[in-house]
A = this chain, B = another copy of it.
Amino acid sequence: MPKPLTYARFRKRVMVSMEDICRDIFRENRKSIRIKKEAVAIRNLVTIFKATLKLSNAKGFQAMSLRDLSRESGLSMGALYAYFSGKEELLEVIHEQGRAVTFSVLEAYVAKTGPVFDRLESAVRTHLYLSEVMRDWFFFAYMETRYFRKTEHKRAMEGELYTEKLFCDILEQGQKEGVFYLESALLTASVIKAMLQDWYLKRWKYRQRNISIDTYADFVLNMIRRATWP
């Protein structure tokens, strides 16, 4: 019998490091990155992305100038342009890579078999814990999506719908099995997402109140359990 998933256990198992993400970015964007040495490129990409998320989440991506980014990252303006072709590409690369990581972690760690409530619990905890590990990216993705043009905007919306569908499918399965009573599986999935997003959108509030992520996960799960009792 497997131990229940906690945040501490999730961190040990998953380990999405900034280095790994930047290695992928480097290999997928060799054409637009002028730097050839992988070690140098990855080191600086890590610095650039961390600085971008920090500045951007504090005052908005549009308000962050490349001079700000240059100062924060310690790289000159000229050096920055060796890593991306312009501010817009920087935005797109961050979004794209975050989406890819989110997708692959959810695919790999959300249980596909077993009792239906356990699967729902696994989906809720994985989503919540992942948003904690990649907090800066999740916040960034939520806040900066509307700056996109049509095509990119559509992909971001699809990201929202993907995770929602993940919950919805499990809920519908549970409904069929008689484990859940649901007024609407889709609306239930929708508000579950809203509750999970609140955790990373209002971190200041939960931190202020000393509410741990596991407490929050337990609370949300109990709430769902009671609300869907047959």
Binding site for B on A (CB under 8 A): 57-60, 62-63, 143, 146-147, 157, 160-161, 183-184, 186-188, 190-191, 193-195, 197-198, 202, 204-205, 209, 211, 216, 219-220, 222-223, 226-229
Contacts and interface: CB of A to CB of B under 8 A. Distances in A.
Given A62-B62, A63-B62, A227-B226, A198 B187 contact: no
Contact of A60 (B147, B183, B191, B195): B147
B62 A219 contact: no
Given A63-B147, A147-B59, A226-B229, A191 B220 contact: yes
B187 A194 contact: no
A228 B222 CA distance: 11
Q: Is the interface of A mostly helix, strand, loop or mixed?
A: helix
11 contacts: A59-B147, A60-B147, A62-B62, A62-B63, A157-B204, A157-B205, A161-B205, A183-B222, A190-B205, A191-B219, A197-B198
Given A160-B205, A226-B227, A146 B191 contact: no
Contacts of A191: 195, 198, 219-220, 223
Contacts of A160: 202, 205
A60 B144 CA distance: 9
A198 B205 CA distance: 17
Contacts of A198: 190-191, 193-194, 197
A223 B219 contact: no
A191 B205 CA distance: 12
A81 to B, nearest CB: 21
A143 B222 CA distance: 30
A225 to B, nearest CB: 9
Nearest to A202: B160
Contact of A59 (B146, B161, B183): B146
Contact of A195 (B147, B194, B219): B194
Nearest to A194: B198
With a 10 A CB-CB cut-off, give which of A160, A161, A190, A205 has the most chain B CB atoms.
A190
